[in-house]
């Protein structure tokens, strides 16, 4: 066969790889018939898949994927899980590229060990998403701790706020889960859906990416006649991924889930806006004499300290301070560290807040605005004392970073690759799970009408859905960080008064709780 004949035969056989040809049938249905329901379309996709494999007699090439997810952290795995859980997308060939040895885990993690120092406070919105994709039941068999109460106060002694799930008619405000349990639950769910997930996981790292540029677009007839190989023709419109083990993959869509220093984002030339905070967070697990069932957070001059329940008599500490202080706290003796934590959560830096005549007037004044929240009358409590530090102490530099774009042709960024926020409200990975759910839905919508899910106009719908909500949360958290970085008498009083007001203005309090729980997308009165 001459090169032109070989090329035109290839072109007429189909420029898409076999998996992609599955999408043609629903497209035809969508135009010929009345618009199909999503379920019908899904059935169309599934049957066309069987058909195309029978008719073409061709299996997808092992180096070709529909979707390559770079980064198998919590968010990358959530994207894979959401896709494999939907009828419309479960047939897609998805690969997860990450050399993290944690991806080898296939069993429940023991509940009786010492909890890891890396945990996440997951919101009810995240829990609903995990339930939808079938991963929450695996979390339930491993360590996790729901909490229904939260107390926030500051070092000036001028005010405190207590939040209760009862204020918004819910059973809990959130749940603290070790990051490794969240990853493990997603892996177990992927295994349930896909059987052998070894084929899906590439235990290696991404070295380089090449997006289809004009020079890599489908060859023109002139180029064809100048001798393109069948491989080149086939791959011309796909992203090329080079891996550290020497493999090369081709994919219709790349999902960058490779964290805040994202290589994918950098290679795609996507710029970010942001800054480093002059703070680091030190995290670890501490032990108490009794079980802790409340999330505590105190704002100190150096930054907030949080004590989060993680089950049994353990809590997780997330303490923000200057990088120098974090190094000192990392290297001090365990006894001194425990003393320092207890001091920071008790009388250190300032007195306990106390109720006074101001509270009487606040309650009277604001009781007209709405019914009083259940937690308004709750007194300030001192958190349980730590008796020992039982895990490694880790320190993380903190930054705010936001990608100018979340998508480009054949690319979508999710999780920390798209945005990193201050951890003071434990929202980072919750935003990432929101991205995962939204991206999977947009891909499914594309599949249902036979669209190319690497197409930028489709992917923009994902960006539009997530960007505004993520920016709003980043701004709220940055505002808190800034308000609490200034130690200036009059501002301290103003700040504490605003803080204390939130204890009494029920609609405001309920709105804050709903926003932090992920139930509303916008911070105020949405
Ligand atoms: C101290 C602290 C406390 C926090 N607490 C909370 C909390 O309570 N609640 C909350 O919601 N969020 C919290 N966060 C934020 C949360 O940890 C992050 O948002 C989350 O880890 C982001 O997940 P990710 O999957 O996007 O990225 P990552 O967890 O960074 O995962 C990225 C993955 O990509 C892989 N990777 C990187 N480069 C490559 C490459 N070239 N090739 C292949 N793979 C690659 C890595 O191995 C890694 O597995 C906290 C953050 C900090 C620092």
Tell me the pLDDT tens digit for each residue of 95-150: 999 999 999 988 899 888 899 999 999 999 999 999 999 999 999 999 999 999 99
Nearest of 459, 411, 468, 419 to residue 439 by alpha carbon: 459
| Atom 28 of ligand 1: nearest residue by CA position | 259
DSSP letters along 298-309, please? Answer: EEETTEEEEEEE
Helices (H), 256-303: 263-267
Of 57-61, 64-68, 101-105, 191-195, the poorest mean pLDDT is in: 57-61
Question: Whole-angstrom Cα distance, residue 95 to residue 103?
Answer: 13
pLDDT-based confidence at 502, cuts 50/70/90? low
DSSP-derived letter for residue 428 is: H
Residue 201, both tokens: 């996981």
Whole-number Å distance, alpha carbon 74 to ligand 1 midpoint, is 7
Judged by average pLDDT, the poorest of 134-143, 165-174, 217-226 is 217-226
pLDDT bucket at 487, cuts 50 / 70 / 90: low
- pLDDT band, residue 192 (cuts 50/70/90): very high
Question: What is the residue extent of each domain of the chain?
Answer: 3-99+204-271+404-470, 142-175+278-399+484-516
Binding site membership of 257 for ligand 1 (Cβ less than 6 Å): yes
pLDDT tens profile 310-340: 999 999 999 999 999 999 999 999 999 999 9
Residue 271 above 80 pLDDT?
Answer: yes
What pLDDT is stored for residue 157 in this prediction? 82
Which residues pair with residue 251 across a beta bridge?
A: 65, 239
- What distance, in Å, lies between the first and last C-alpha atoms of the chain? 66
The alpha carbon of 365 and the centre of ligand 1 are apart by a number of angstroms equal to 44
Name the residue among 332, 89, 68, 73 with its Cα closest to residue 193.
89
Residues 390/458, Cβ–Cβ less than 8 Å: no
**Is residue 303 within 8 Å of residue 326, measured between CB atoms?**
no
Alpha-carbon gap, residue 250 to 209, rounded angstroms = 10
Q: By alpha-carbon position, which residue is closest to atom 3 of ligand 1? A: 423
Nearby residues of 280 by Cβ (< 8 Å), 6 or more positions away? 320, 321, 322, 323, 326, 395, 396, 397, 398
Residue 24 Cβ contacting ligand 1 at under 6 Å: no
> What φ, ψ does residue 431 adopt, rounded to 5°?
-65, -40
Q: How far apart are CA 386 and CA 308, in angstroms?
A: 12
- 100, 428, 466, 473: which to mutate for ligand 1, most atoms within 8 A of CB? 428
DSSP per-residue letters across 485-507: T---HHHHHHHHHHHHHHHH-HH
Whole-angstrom distance, CA of residue 308 vs CA of residue 316: 5
In this prediction, what percent of the chain has a pLDDT beyond 70? 73
pLDDT single digits (tens) 5-47 = 333 332 222 222 222 332 222 222 222 222 333 333 444 343 3
User: Which carries the bigger pLDDT value, residue 352 or residue 371?
Assistant: 352
To test ligand 1's pocket by mutation, which of 129, 180, 420, 423 has the most ligand atoms within 8 angstroms of CB? 423
Helix 456-483 × helix 428-448 angle, to 10° = 170
CA 67 – ligand 1 centroid, Å: 20
Cβ–ligand 1 contact at 256 (below 6 Å): no
Which pLDDT does position 342 carry in this prediction?
A: 97
Alpha helices of 272-354 — where are they, by DSSP H?
Answer: 323-331, 334-344
* C-beta 470 within 6 A of ligand 1: no
Mention every residue, 6+ apart, whose C-beta is less than 8 A from residue 31.
Answer: none
178 lines ligand 1 (CB under 6 A): no
Report the pLDDT value the prediction gives residue 294, as an integer from 0 to 100. 95
| Least confident interval from 27-31, 211-215, 269-273 | 27-31
The residues, ordered by sequence, that sit 6+ positions from 353 with a Cβ below 8 Å of its Cβ are 153, 157, 158, 159, 160, 380, 500
Question: Does residue 345 sit in helix, strand or coil?
Answer: coil
Please list the residues that pair with 471 across neighbouring strands.
Answer: none
From residue 325, give the alpha-carbon distance in Å to each of 313, 322, 350, 397, 475: 27, 5, 19, 12, 26
Closest CA to 302 of 155, 423, 422, 428: 155
Ligand 1 site, residue 249, Cβ cutoff 6 A: no
- The reported pLDDT for the residue numbered 190 is 97
φ, ψ dihedrals at 497, nearest 5°:
-65, -45
Supply the CATH classification number for the domain 142-175+278-399+484-516: 3.30.9.10
342 lines ligand 1 (CB under 6 A): no
| pTM of the predicted structure, to 2 decimals | 0.84
Task: Tell me the CATH number for domain 3-99+204-271+404-470.
Answer: 3.50.50.60
- Of all protein residues, the one whose alpha carbon is nearest to atom 15 of ligand 1 is 428
Instruction: Give the pair of three-digit tokens for residue 363.
Output: 């309650």
- Residue 228 — pLDDT band, cuts 50, 70, 90? low
Contact indicator for 525, 130 with CB cutoff of 8 Å: no
Mean per-residue pLDDT over the chain, rounded: 81
Query: Ligand 1 pocket, 103 CB below 6 A?
Result: no
Q: Are strands 411-413 and 407-408 parallel, antiparallel or unpaired?
A: antiparallel
pLDDT for position 173: 92
444 CA to middle of ligand 1, Å? 25
Ligand 1: residue whose CA is nearest its atom 49: 73
Answer whether 432's CB lies under 8 Å from 6's CB.
Answer: no
Residue 74 Cβ inside 6 Å of ligand 1? The answer reads yes
Q: Residue whose CA is closest, atom 50 of ligand 1?
A: 423
Tokens representing 197 are: 């997930």
Question: Is 71 near ligand 1, meaning CB less than 6 Å away?
Answer: yes
- CA atoms of 446 and 407, how far apart (whole Å): 15
d(CA 11, CA 344): 69
Collect all residues with Cβ–Cβ distance below 8 Å to 452 and sequence separation of at least 6: 20, 23, 252, 446, 458
**d(Cα 476, Cα 235) in Å, to the nearest integer?**
44
Regarding the beta carbon of 435 and ligand 1, being less than 6 Å apart is answered no
* 512 CB near ligand 1 (under 6 Å): no
């Amino acid at each position: 066969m001459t090169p032109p004949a070989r090329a035109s035969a290839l072109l007429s056989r189909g420029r898409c790889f076999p998996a992609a040809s599955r999408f043609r049938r629903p497209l035809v249905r969508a135009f010929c018939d009345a618009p199909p329901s999503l379920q019908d379309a899904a059935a169309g996709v599934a049957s066309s898949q069987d058909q195309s494999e029978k008719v073409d007699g061709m299996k997808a090439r092992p180096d070709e994927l529909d979707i390559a997810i770079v980064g198998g952290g919590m968010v990358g795995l959530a994207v894979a899980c959401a896709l494999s859980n939907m009828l419309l997308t479960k047939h897609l060939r998805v690969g997860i590229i990450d050399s993290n040895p944690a991806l080898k885990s296939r069993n429940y993690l023991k509940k009786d060990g010492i909890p890891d120092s890396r945990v996440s406070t997951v919101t009810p919105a995240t829990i609903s998403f995990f339930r939808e994709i079938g991963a929450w039941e695996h979390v339930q068999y491993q360590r996790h701790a729901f909490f229904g109460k939260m107390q926030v106060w500051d070092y000036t002694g001028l005010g405190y706020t207590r939040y209760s799930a009862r204020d918004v008619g819910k059973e809990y405000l959130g749940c603290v889960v070790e990051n490794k349990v969240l990853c493990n639950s997603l892996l177990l769910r992927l295994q349930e859906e896909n059987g052998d997930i070894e084929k899906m996981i590439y235990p290696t790292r991404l070295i380089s990416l090449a997006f289809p540029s004009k020079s890599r677009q489908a060859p023109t007839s002139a180029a064809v006649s100048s001798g393109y190989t069948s491989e080149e023709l086939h791959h011309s419109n796909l992203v090329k991924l080079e891996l550290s083990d020497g493999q090369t993959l081709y994919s219709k869509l790349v999902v960058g889930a490779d964290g805040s220093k994202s290589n994918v984002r950098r290679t795609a030339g996507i710029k970010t806006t942001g800054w480093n905070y002059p703070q680091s967070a030190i995290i670890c697990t501490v032990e108490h004499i009794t079980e802790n069932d409340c999330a505590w957070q105190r704002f100190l001059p150096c930054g907030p300290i949080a004590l989060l329940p993680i089950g049994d008599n353990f809590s997780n500490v997330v303490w923000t301070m200057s990088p120098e202080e974090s190094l000192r706290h990392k290297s001090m003796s365990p006894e001194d560290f425990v003393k320092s934590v207890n001091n920071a959560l008790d009388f250190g830096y300032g007195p306990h807040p106390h109720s006074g005549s101001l509270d009487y007037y606040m309650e009277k004044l604001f009781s007209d605005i709405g019914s009083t929240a259940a937690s308004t009358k709750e007194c300030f409590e001192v958190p349980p004392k730590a008796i020992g530090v039982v895990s490694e102490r880790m320190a993380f530099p903190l930054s705010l970073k936001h990608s100018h774009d979340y998508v480009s042709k054949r690319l979508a960024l999710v999780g920390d690759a798209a945005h990193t926020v201050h951890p003071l409200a434990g929202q980072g990975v919750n935003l990432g799970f929101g991205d995962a759910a939204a991206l999977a839905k947009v891909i499914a919508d594309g599949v249902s009408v036979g669209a190319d899910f690497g197409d930028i106009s489709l992917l923009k719908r994902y960006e539009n859905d997530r960007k505004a909500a993520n920016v709003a949360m980043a701004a709220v958290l940055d505002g808190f960080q800034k308000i609490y970085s200034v130690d200036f008498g009059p501002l301290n009083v103003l700040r504490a008064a605003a803080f204390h007001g939130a204890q009494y203005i029920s609609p405001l309090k309920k709105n804050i709780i709903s926003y932090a729980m992920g139930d509303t997308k916008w911070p105020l009165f949405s």
